[in-house]
Amino acid sequence: MKALKTLVVGMGALILIGIAVIGVTLYNRASAPGGLAGGRTPASAPATVPAQAGGITAGTLGLPAGSRVKGLAGAGNRVVVHVELPSGQEQLLLLDPATGQVTGRLGVAEAPH
């Protein structure tokens, strides 16, 4: 019976150590520059927003006249801007909040049925 108790205590200790390792790994990955989302994506089209220490303080996104911003959202280490162009097409612009650079453009279309 004493051997069984020792075995149960040992397995409990291993579980606690495993949970601690997972916690430390998640903390380290979340604290890394890329965050949990992974590495950085290359910039595809620069925006006209000046980079300031501590992030963007002012600038222009440079959208065509008649464009309308429909929404903003945070996504990992990016800001997503939902834009409706004058033609009626919609785009999602991915911005790096530290530099103001447009790092990606995604078209929005209906899925085929």
Express each pLDDT in 1-34 by its tens digit. 899 999 999 999 999 999 999 999 888 888 876 6
Express each pLDDT in 74-84 by its tens digit. 877 888 999 99
pTM flag (> 0.85)? no
Q: How far apart are CA 26 and CA 93, in angstroms?
A: 28
Sheet with 90-95, side-by-side order of all strands: 68-75, 78-84, 90-95, 102-108
| Token pair of 1 as six digits | 């019976």
| Token pair of 44 as six digits | 């595809």
